[in-house]
Structure 1
Amino acid sequence: MNPDHISLHNKQFEPYLSATQLATAIQELATRLTQDYAGKTPLLVAVLNGSFMFVADLMKGLKFDCEVSFIKVASYQGTSSTGSVKEVLGLSEDIKDRHVIIVEDIVDTGHTMRMLLDTLAAKQPASLEVATLFMKPECLQHELSIRYVGLSIPNDFIVGYGLDYDGLGRNYPDVYKAV
C-alpha cells in the first residue's frame, strides 16, 4: 500500500515519509533509549490513538525490560488543535518512583504534552521523559524539553502510520502530507 496520492474526507495528500524512513528513525530512538535506560525497567505511557503503531514498533527495538500502558487524550478537531486538552482515559498504574517515558506520535503546539508532563510529574516519578516520532518546532507554544525526537518536521498536516484526519488514514504504513 503506497499510493501516489490519497483522498481522505475533503483533503488530498501526497507521499511524505516512507515506511523505511520511519523504521530508521524509530530504530535510532530505540538505540538511544536502550543506552539511557540500561538496567532500568521504565513504564512506557503511550498516548492513544495516534501512537499505537509507533509504540509497538519502538518496543520491538528496545533491549531492556519495560512495561507499557495507554492513556487517551483529545485535542484535535479536523486538521487543527482545539487548544484545550481533555483527558479521556487515564493512567491506572502507580508511577511514584518509576521511570516513565511518554510515547507520543506528534508534538506540535505542545498543549497536550504540557498537560501530560504536569499531570504525571505530580505523581512523583523517578524520571519523566518524552519520546515522540514527530516534532513541529515552529508550532510549539510551550517550553518543552523533549529528549527523544524521531523526526523534526515543518508545519505540514500529516496522516498515516497512526496519524489520522477525522478518524481516517491511520492504517497507511507511510506518512502523507496535505496538499
Structure 2
Amino acid sequence: MSADLEHIRQIMREADCLYTEAQVEEAIAKVGAHISREMADTNPVVFCVMNGGLIFAGKLLTHLQFPLEASYLHATRYRNETTGGDLFWKAKPEVSFIDRDVLIVDDILDEGHTLGAIIDFCKHAGARKVHTAVLIDKDHDRKARPELKADFVGLPCIDRYIFGYGMDYKGYWRNANGIYAVKGM
C-alpha cells in the first residue's frame, strides 16, 4: 500500500461527518421539488458540471418530473488540488441553448469563480435565462462575486474543506455517502 493511499484512507477515518446520507438525500428531494415547481414549463437544458456535480445531478434528475434535455460541461480550477487556480475548460457544452432556459447543476458554491464563469459563458452563448442548483452553499465572506447566489441550494455548510457526494479530497472520496469535513481544514 502506498503512503499516499494510506493518507487518503486516514483522511476519511479522521473526518467529521457534517451531513449523513439520509440528510443529503432529503435535501436533494427538496431541491428537485423546488426546481419542478419553478421550471416545469421552461423546457430547460440541464448541465451537470463535471466531475463534482455528477452525483448530485444524477440523483437530482430523478426528481425532475418534466421534459428537459440533459448534458454536461467540464470546467475546473482545482485539478485534484485543494486550492483553485485559473479556470480550465475540459469540455464545453455541446447542446445548443440559444433562447433556452439553462439549469447549471454543481456540487458546491464556494468562492464562486467556476460557477460565475459558467454562468457568464451561458449568457454570452445566448441562454434566455440561467438558473443554478448546488448541493452545498459554503458560508464565508470570500465570495468572488458576493452578488452570486444559487437559485436552488441543498444544504448550507460551514467554512471547512469538505468532500463526499461528488466533492473530492485530492481526487478521492467523491463517492463518500455523506458530506465530510477534513480534520484541521
Deviations 1:118-175 (A, max 9, x none): 1110012121110001111313121313211111211111111111111110111112
Distance in structure 2 (CA, Å) of the matches to 1:21 and 1:119: 33
More strand by share: 1
Asked if residue 47 in structure 1 is aligned to residue 49 in structure 2, the reply is yes
1:5-20 paired onto structure 2 within 5 Å = 8=8, 11=11, 12-20=14-22
Which position in structure 1 is the counterpart of 2:178? 174
Q: The residue matched to 1:64 in structure 2 has which SS?
A: coil
Q: How many residues align?
A: 173
Unaligned runs of 5+ in 2: 1-5
Moved more, 134-143 or 108-117: 134-143
CA RMSD of aligned residues (A): 1.7
More helix by share: 2
Q: Match of 1:155, as an amino acid?
A: D
Asked if residue 152 in structure 1 is aligned to residue 132 in structure 2, the reply is no
Q: The residue matched to 1:115 in structure 2 has which SS?
A: helix
Unaligned runs of 5+ in 1: 1-5
Q: The residue matched to 2:67 in structure 1 has which SS?
A: coil
1:63-102 paired onto structure 2 within 5 Å = 63-76=65-78, 77-82=80-85, 84-102=86-104
Which position in structure 1 is the counterpart of 2:62? 60
Kindly report structure 1 stretches of 4+ aligned residues shifted beyond 4 Å.
Answer: none
Taking every aligned residue pair, what percent have the same amino acid on both sides?
27
TM-score, L = length of structure 2: 0.87
Q: The residue matched to 1:56 in structure 2 has which SS?
A: helix
Distance in structure 2 (CA, Å) of the matches to 1:57 and 1:160: 14
